[in-house]
Each structure stands twice: as C-alpha cells, then as structure tokens.
Amino acid sequence: MIVCSCNVLSADQVRDACATTAPRTPGQVYGCLGCSPQCGRCARTIRQIMDEALACASSCPCCPHGRASE
Ligand code: FES
C-alpha cells in the first residue's frame, strides 16, 4: 500500500527502513529511503508505521519487519 503519494513510498518500504536503520523521526525515514518530505500529509501515517514496527522489534520475535532476529 502506498502511504506517501508524493514520493511513492509503500508501507513495506517504511517498515524495512525501520528494521534496518531504526529511525527516530519520519524525516529520517524519508532520508533512509532517498527522498524528502514534500506535502507532509503522510507524516502521521509514517509515524504510526514506525511506532508499530519498532514496538514489534522489541516485543514480537515473529515479526518479519522487526529487528529481533538480528
Ligand atoms: S504524501 Fe508524503 S510528502 Fe506528500
């Protein structure tokens, strides 16, 4: 699912960026994916995906997007 129409970023791309780089802000997610925020409408959604991915990384060893297996 595309979550950022300006940069054509998918939710999976955001989860992968969280799993590999552990960004602290949505701005860092854009940077990890080689782009920058444009309109900013997706920032809240990206933050939500970050929170879910990073929470799962610390508490859910079965999550394919988490960092528990590293
Ligand atoms: S929808 Fe992501 S910056 Fe515009």
Ligand 1 atom nearest to 5, measured from its CA: 1
Instruction: Tell whether 14 is covered by a domain.
Output: yes
Residue 37 is part of a domain; what is its CATH number? 1.10.10
Helix-strand-coil split of the chain, %, nearest 5 = 50, 5, 45
Q: Please state whether the predicted TM-score (pTM) of the whole model is above 0.85.
A: no
Instruction: Tell whether 13 is covered by a domain.
Output: yes
Structural domain including 47 reads 2-59
Instruction: Tell whether 47 is covered by a domain.
Output: yes
Report the interhelical angle of 43-59 vs 11-21 (nearest 10°).
50
Confidence of residue 53 (pLDDT cuts 50, 70, 90): confident
Number of independent structural domains in the chain? 1
Instruction: Tell whether 65 is covered by a domain.
Output: no
pLDDT of 62 > 70? The answer is: no
Distance 69 CA to ligand 1 centre (A): 31
Could you list the beta-strand ranges (E) of 1-70. Answer: 2-4, 9-10
Ligand 1 atom nearest to 7, measured from its CA: 2
